[in-house]
Amino acid sequence: MAIEKMVMMNLVGALEDEDKILEQIILMGNVHLQTDISELYESHFALHVLEESLNEMGDNGQETARGPNDENYSEMLSRIEYISNALNIQPKVDRAFLKKSFDYNYYKSSIDSVYQEVSPIYEEIQQTKDLIKKYQSFRENIKYILDKNIDFAQLDTLHFFKYKIGMMSYEDKMEIAKNYENITAIAKAIGTGEDSEVFLIIYPQKFEEETEKILKSVNFEEVNIPETLKGTPREMNQQMEEFLRQEQSKLNDLYQQMNEMKEIYQDFICQAITRVKMTQKVNKIKERIERGNSVFILSGWIPESQKEEITKQISTVSNKFMTVFKDIDEIGKSVMPPTKLKNHRWFQPFESLVKMYGTPSYNELDPTVFLSITYLIMFGAMFGDVGQGLIFVLVGYILSKKQKESVFGPIAMRLGISSTIFGFLFGSFFGNEEWIPHIVRNVFGSESFAARLIIHPMENMNLILISAVVLGVILILFGFGYSMINCLKVSNIKDGLFGRNGLAGLIFYIALLLIVYDIAVAPIIIPKVILIACIIISMAVMVIREPLANTIQNKLPLYHEEISSYYVESGFDILETILSLASNTISFIRVGAFALNHVGLFLAFKTMADMANGGITGIIIMIIGNIIIIGLEGLIVFIQGLRLQYYELFGKYFRGEGIEFTPVKFID
């Protein structure tokens, strides 16, 4: 449960080694670049001294010539992708291809050469495929008129008439029939398809425009006859078969040529795309660094534990660089380091749930472990069932294997384990509350501690609901603790000691709880007068928190707004605090309510199964019931648990305004 300590790395290197050093930084994948570095260097970095030292190490003080711009690489990448698509290569980005140095002119010339070789064949393949598709489509359309003795070659000799063949639905055919006297053409049905008919349309040339409008209005789908086909439909079909055989043979030969080129160029294409993508990343970093006459300057955040390793790795590619590491205390509070969470592997999947709300600030407590434990408790309590919990574990395990980068699988496994544990406590196995208690009593005895641990929610409703509220109180108290620590870490005593979520708010909440307990449950040792005094004093402190904190810290002015407006706002803030604490506490009763609801749904399906007199029908009803409960209620409980975390707890102590640690990497 920690945020990894960061240090600022200021690196100065020789311009002649710029690409090599930046490539190494990208390959290490542990440097978060600092975007605004001008102020840092002016105040904290002895650039002129380091630059002078590097000038002495280097051969001259001339700036290294700049390479091609990003547009050149984008064009090269576009050609690589074209070649990859043409040769059916899945371009693999691999670090192993970076061992060779990158010569832009060599790669550009080679890629252009491959492109010129591949492009004509690939374009011919596309044209051949389009032509085959066109003829196959025509063959499909004329199969309904193969028995018609219509010579289309003779129709082509007409001087004053034109013709079309095409498809028309039965509904559109009826529309034609209704208005036949208004149509400027002869429409003859010459074939019947599955849901349409084939028509031959003959019309005078002078009425061509009117005819096309009419045909368009009835959704006429024209079938274009390829120019190379002549004669009757049967003769055309024979010509097509021969044509398709020739074109398919031609296509196979072209594919063979492409396969041969694939064998020759596959490794080169993978190497080229790796080098180009690396160069593009290097160029993006170059936009965020500064340069002198002979040096470049890079600033970024790294984990403190990796200082020596980073220096060691950079030294493998260059000896003309210097690094200076600075702690956050040396830099000042004007620059906020990025946040890198550091948790045990059991808790790491829950980091994604924290980040859904916000990334912890560098000087803020990481709530991941607290969220993990409390969320598991709440989910298990609301969805306690051994059988269904094991289903979650199984599904989570499968997802973890199939989608290794996803966190949903590991989270589902952990939620399933929690559900299983509470399932044993509730004595529930796929909704049956008799099997587990029966086994426990037979093994350990009916009066054993294990038997007494089993609690049936429906038989102990009050206990379940009260326990849920008590759980809420405990979690809210922890929330106050987190809030105070977070505030005091940044010297914010106004909110940490005197605020509604600070020490004053904690005293107010505890005193209020004790009074409610004294009235509703049983008398307590502490006199009510003392508790009421604590409430009044804490309320007063919360009202005057700003002038009080400013007085203690010797800050002026005491008020940052009009005094009257401040106290009116503070008065309403007290009312909001009371309502908020009450609603936050009562809101946790939903944990118990969902635990009861979980059992209630099973009882409903069990009742339906009993009404079906058991048997196969009853078993099917119970299976369907379990599927519905696992899918629907599982999702609802998942969301409700997050709601309690985000609104009732995070709102008290977690701001989530940090910057996530995102180092530059070769493969994101």
Instruction: Write the pLDDT tens digit of every residue in 207-222.
Output: 888 888 888 888 888 8
Specify whether the backbone of 431 is left (phi greater than 0), alpha (psi in -120 to 50) or beta. left
Q: What pLDDT does 147 receive?
A: 81
Domain boundary among 180, 200, 231: 231
Question: In terms of domains, do 584 and 489 share one?
Answer: yes
**DSSP 3-state assignment of 322?**
strand
- Mean of the pLDDT values across residues 189-204? 81
For the stretch 106-145, pLDDT in tens is: 888 989 999 999 999 999 999 999 989 888 888 877 887 8
Band of residue 521 on the pLDDT scale cut at 50, 70, 90: confident
In a domain, 412, yes or no: no
Question: In terms of domains, do 309 and 220 share one?
Answer: no
**DSSP 3-state assignment of 1?**
coil
- The DSSP-derived string for 468-500 is HHHHHHHHHHHHHHHHHHHHHHTT-HHHHTTST
385, 598 contact by CB (below 8 A)? yes
Residue ranges in 147-232 assigned as alpha helix (H): 152-155, 170-178, 208-217
Q: Using CA atoms of 465, 466, 467, 468 in order, give the dihedral in degrees to the nearest 10.
A: 50
Q: What pLDDT does 512 receive?
A: 92
In a domain, 483, yes or no: yes
pLDDT greater than 90 at residue 469: yes
Q: Are strands 321-326 and 32-33 parallel, antiparallel or unpaired?
A: unpaired
Q: What pLDDT does 360 receive?
A: 93
- The DSSP-derived string for 41-59 is HHHH--HHHHHHHHHHHSS
218, 176 contact by CB (below 8 A)? yes
133 contact partners, CB below 8 Å, separation of at least 6: none
Question: In terms of domains, do 221 and 322 share one?
Answer: no
429, 435 contact by CB (below 8 A)? yes
Q: Tokens for 257?
A: 């040529």
64 or 269, higher pLDDT: 269
- Strand-pair partners of 325: 9
Q: What pLDDT does 179 receive?
A: 67
Q: What pLDDT does 450 receive?
A: 81
For the stretch 36-49, pLDDT in tens is: 655 444 544 445 55
- The DSSP-derived string for 503-516 is HHHHHHHHHHHHHH
In a domain, 162, yes or no: yes
Burial of 361 (0-12, 13-18, 19+ CB in 10 A): buried
355, 343 contact by CB (below 8 A)? no
Domain extent at residue 520: 462-653
In a domain, 227, yes or no: yes
Question: In terms of domains, do 617 and 519 share one?
Answer: yes
Q: Tokens for 392?
A: 């979650």
Nearest to 373 by CA among 428, 421, 431: 421
Please count the structural domains in the chain. Answer: 3
Q: Give the Cα separation of 33 and 463 in Å (integer).
A: 54
- The DSSP-derived string for 553-610 is TT-S-S-SS-HHHHHHHHHHHHHHHHHHHHHHHHHTHHHHHHHHHHHHHHHHHHHHHH
Q: What pLDDT does 379 receive?
A: 95
Q: What pLDDT does 504 receive?
A: 92
263 or 170, higher pLDDT: 263
Question: In terms of domains, do 514 and 636 share one?
Answer: yes
Q: What pLDDT does 62 receive?
A: 45
For the stretch 475-491, pLDDT in tens is: 999 999 999 999 988 88
50, 322 contact by CB (below 8 A)? yes
pLDDT greater than 90 at residue 235: no
What count of other Cβ atoms lies within 10 Å of the Cβ of residue 316? 9
| CATH code, 307 | 3.30.70.120
Query: Which contacts qualify for 76-79: CB closer than 8 Å, 24 or more apart?
Result: 76/107, 76/108, 76/111, 76/272, 76/276, 77/273, 77/276, 77/277, 77/280, 79/111, 79/112, 79/115
Q: Give the Cα separation of 456 and 470 in Å (integer).
A: 19
Q: Tokens for 420?
A: 């299983």
Band of residue 64 on the pLDDT scale cut at 50, 70, 90: very low
In a domain, 280, yes or no: no
Question: In terms of domains, do 564 and 470 share one?
Answer: yes
| CATH code, 220 | 3.30.70.2750
Question: In terms of domains, do 610 and 524 share one?
Answer: yes
pLDDT greater than 60 at residue 56: no
Q: What pLDDT does 48 receive?
A: 56
Specify whether the backbone of 430 is left (phi greater than 0), alpha (psi in -120 to 50) or beta. left
For the stretch 344-354, pLDDT in tens is: 999 999 999 99
Residue whose entry in the numeric block shows the structure tokens 């398809």? 193
Q: Give the Cα separation of 196 and 279 in Å (integer).
A: 58
pLDDT greater than 80 at residue 94: no
Q: Give the Cα separation of 457 and 174 in Å (integer).
A: 69
Band of residue 562 on the pLDDT scale cut at 50, 70, 90: confident
Band of residue 373 on the pLDDT scale cut at 50, 70, 90: very high
Prior bond to 360 cis, omega within 30?
no
382, 641 contact by CB (below 8 A)? yes
Q: Tokens for 502?
A: 């600070």
Band of residue 641 on the pLDDT scale cut at 50, 70, 90: very high
Q: What pLDDT does 63 receive?
A: 45
**DSSP 3-state assignment of 326?**
strand
H or E stretch at 325: strand 321-326
Band of residue 359 on the pLDDT scale cut at 50, 70, 90: very high
pLDDT greater than 60 at residue 167: yes
Distance of CA 597 to the CA centre of its chain: 32
Residue type, position 555, single letter:
K
Q: What pLDDT does 69 receive?
A: 60
pTM equals: 0.76
Q: Give the Cα separation of 587 and 479 in Å (integer).
A: 15
Q: Give the Cα separation of 183 and 193 in Å (integer).
A: 24
In a domain, 661, yes or no: no
- Average pLDDT score, the chain: 85
Q: Give the Cα separation of 383 and 89 in Å (integer).
A: 48
pLDDT greater than 50 at residue 242: yes
**DSSP 3-state assignment of 160?**
coil
Distance of CA 146 to the CA centre of its chain: 56
Domain boundary among 211, 231, 251: 231
Residue ranges in 403-460 assigned as alpha helix (H): 408-426, 435-444, 449-453
In a domain, 526, yes or no: yes
Q: Is the dihedral of CA 155, 161, 166, 171 positive or negative?
A: negative
Lowest mean pLDDT among 252-261, 379-388, 603-612: 603-612
Distance from first CA to last CA of the chain, Å, rounded? 25
Q: Give the Cα separation of 301 and 600 in Å (integer).
A: 54
338 or 47, higher pLDDT: 338
**DSSP 3-state assignment of 3?**
strand
Distance of CA 25 to the CA centre of its chain: 26
Q: Give the Cα separation of 26 and 8 in Å (integer).
A: 17
Q: Give the Cα separation of 589 and 468 in Å (integer).
A: 5
Q: What pLDDT does 472 receive?
A: 93
The rounded percent of the chain whose pLDDT value lies above 70 is 93
Prior bond to 337 cis, omega within 30?
no
Q: What pLDDT does 61 receive?
A: 44
Rg (CA), the chain: 38
For the stretch 588-628, pLDDT in tens is: 999 999 999 888 888 888 888 888 776 788 888 888 988 98
In a domain, 286, yes or no: no
pLDDT greater than 80 at residue 576: yes
DSSP, res 348: G
Nearest to 2 by CA among 276, 303, 211: 303
Q: What pLDDT does 411 receive?
A: 94
